[in-house]
Amino acid sequence: MLRVIVCLLALTPFAAFAQMADSHGMMMDHHAMMVSHPAGGAPTEPGQSAFAAIQEIVTLLEADPKTDWAKVDIEALRRHLIDMDNVTLHAQVRNEKVEGGDRFVVTGTGAVRDSIQRMALAHAATMDGVDGWRFQPVATDDGADLTVLVPAKDLAKLQALGFIGVMTRGMHHQMHHLMIARGEHPH
């Protein structure tokens, strides 16, 4: 119900504008409508998360006068986001308890398998040792095994996070995306 009310409030300025149009039916041109914002604000969600991530990076690159456009590789970022989607939504994960942590057996076929191997190995290399967490990745024929060993105080946290929660740890992802788009190799 709250969303309906917010939407109606956001649309109210447009209705008022339409009523104020002169008898010749003159309206703002398309560009002016797109850049002017109603009093209630403007939509901010581009509709799809990978698109939004790419849009954010393109905006940052365009705002940076030092951007070397000859090195920019937005397609590499798109491929990385596909890997993230494959691992997050399509990988199969089995959890095995090991002394001091968990082993995540992460599997898939085809593109999902390849995404698992890239993501698990790269994340392990980036996060190994952070907060005393140790990462031991091994590529397998159908994905990867990722053993995560943690201090005793973090065992419950590891259990709660599971594989995908472990993969999200660390605020390096956003800068990682920017580095990929700039044509750098963050791993």
Backbone angles phi, psi at 72, to 5 degrees: -60, 135
Residue 172 has pLDDT above 80, yes or no: no
Assigned token pair, 97: 């308890």
Asked whether 58 and 67 are in contact (CB, 8 A), the reply is no
Quote the DSSP letter at residue 132.
Answer: G
Quote the DSSP letter at residue 128.
Answer: T
Backbone angles phi, psi at 3, to 5 degrees: -60, -40
User: Does residue 30 or residue 50 have the better pLDDT?
Assistant: 50
Asked whether 107 and 91 are in contact (CB, 8 A), the reply is yes
Residue 65 has pLDDT above 90, yes or no: yes
Distance in angstroms (rounded) separating the CA atoms of residues 101 and 110: 29
Assigned token pair, 60: 């940052």
Residue 39 has pLDDT above 70, yes or no: no
User: What confidence tens digit (pLDDT) does each residue in 103-142 have?
Assistant: 999 999 999 999 999 999 999 999 999 999 999 999 999 9
pLDDT of amino acid 36: 52
List helix spans (H) across 86-154. Answer: 110-127
Q: Kindly provide the residue ranges of all beta strands, DSSP E only, lying in the chain, ordered along the sequence.
A: 92-98, 101-107, 134-140, 143-149
Distance in angstroms (rounded) separating the CA atoms of residues 51 and 81: 9
